[in-house]
A = this chain, B = another copy of it.
Amino acid sequence: MEKIVINNGAINSQILVGEDWKSIFKLTPQENVIIITDENVFNIYGKYFPAYPVVILRPGEKSKDLRIVGRVAMQMLKAGIDRTGFVLGVGGGMVCDVAGFAASIYMRGIRCGYVSTSLLSQVDASIGGKTGVNLGNTKNILGTFSQPEIVICDPSMLRSLPDEEYFSGLAELIKTAMIGNEKLVELIENNHEAILRREIGFLTKVISMSVRFKASVVSQDEKESGLRRILNFGHTYGHAIEMATGFSHGFAVASGMELAADFSFEKGYLSESDRGRIINLLKSFNLLREYKISPARMHSLIFRDKKRSGDEISFVFLRTAGVALVEKVSGRELSDFYKKRVSV
């Protein structure tokens, strides 16, 4: 088991990777706890829950909605959760986002923690204290910066994940590797079989590396005023692709990384061989899907992105596999690059 700590002023956030998830019940208070989960997770793990009140959400992105947050809060109120209460999210990114957001606004903020059940949330969503819901089809536009006190990432829970979700998470793992850790890139390249077989030991290792990297970034820049932006690699085009196609998040980000790698090459930041290396890795796990989005639609979708300020967007380029840089580019430049590329 690896323990990683994110230190942000008043709150220490502890992330335990490789720990048995049921340990969470020794770490949370004995009462005044409410569990937020979804149907899929509840069906598998609900039988191990203690006798806390449970709110069971419908699986899927549609539950990331302000109305659902309102309903969760109403259940909290009915369960008598007070200021000293604790919200425990048990689930993937959606559950952690909704649970964390609800906890952060309930009575203007109460304690929370997560058991992170998907690869996507173990490597990314549950780490770093961003919570949020969608508005219409604009993703994560409403939310808070709010650190969970504790997160358990138990890779044995990944065994029961559907392939679609598992590989969606793998794309985010590759993202982290690409922006900050060449050793992690190599590990993923050289352990194809271990990844496909979901080997617990190997997953514990790579998830820890990913969490450690993200924790170091977030500790330095909790509120995304600078450094943290590199975590958005693949996400500018990726969010737009996700909105337009409905791809799972990781698959959309994979296509976003492909575009960002091409753009980095075109700008002269990335060598041709490194570009090939990145794209080959994405292809080796079948992460790149076909999609058709017109340049005009891409432009309008990118312009809903919250990373935008005025006409400029902080875009994450790669220098090599493992090193990123952030640079402001105009919306025009992003559109033009995409237009040129789809016309090829």
Contact = CB atoms under 8 A, between A and B. Distances in A.
B77 A135 contact: yes
A105 B307 CA distance: 15
A245 interface: no
B108 A77 contact: no
Contact of A141 (B73, B223, B224): B73
A220 to B, nearest CB: 16
Contacts of A306: 82-83, 107
B135 A70 contact: yes
A7 interface: no
Contacts of A46: none
Interface stretch (A12-20, A142-150, A155-163, A320-328): A142-150
Task: Report the copy number of this chain in the oligomer.
Answer: 2
A106 B144 CA distance: 8
Interface string A47-87: 00000000000000000001101100110010000111000
Contact of A144 (B73, B77, B105): B105
A270 B283 CA distance: 77
Contact of A145 (B108, B132, B143, B310): B108
Interface in A218-264: 223-224
Interface of A: 32, 66-67, 69-70, 73-74, 77, 82-84, 104-109, 130, 132, 135-136, 138, 141-145, 223-224, 304, 306-310
11 contacts: A67-B67, A70-B142, A73-B142, A74-B136, A77-B135, A82-B306, A82-B310, A84-B309, A105-B143, A107-B306, A108-B145
Given A70-B142, A105-B105, A106-B142, 18 more contacts: A66-B66, A66-B67, A66-B69, A67-B67, A70-B135, A73-B142, A77-B135, A77-B304, A82-B308, A84-B310, A105-B144, A107-B141, A107-B306, A108-B132, A108-B144, A108-B223, A109-B144, A109-B223
